Amino acid sequence: MSSFGFGLFCLLGFTLPVPLLAWLDRERRRKD
């Protein structure tokens, strides 16, 4: 892996999981 690729890897590694984790953290609203 080149240093450029490593930079891109770090950038993606810290951005891609954010939407999923934020979604999992959302309050679950009850229908009752």
Partner 1 sequence: MYAGHFAAALAIKAKEPRAPSWALLAGVGFLDVLFGTFVMLGIEKVTMTPHVGHGFTLDLIDWSHSFVMSLVWAALFSVPFWRRGSAVAFAVAFAVFSHFLLDVPMHPPDMALWPHSTVHLGLGLWNRLPTGWWWVELAVIAVFCAYYLVRARTLKTFGGRALWACAVVLALHLFNSPWLSPGK
Residues that bind partner 1 (CB under 8 A): 1-4, 6-15, 17-22, 24-28
Q: Which is nearer to partner 1, 21 or 32 (CB)?
A: 21
Shortest distance, CB of residue 16 to partner 1, whole angstroms? 10
Nearest Cα to Cα of residue 21 among 29, 13, 9, 31: 13
Buried b (16+ CB within 10 A) or exposed e, 1-32: eeeeeeeeeeeeeeeeeeeeeeeeeeeeeeee
Shortest Å, Cβ 30 to partner 1: 10
Q: Find the shortest distance in angstroms from Cβ 31 to partner 1.
A: 14
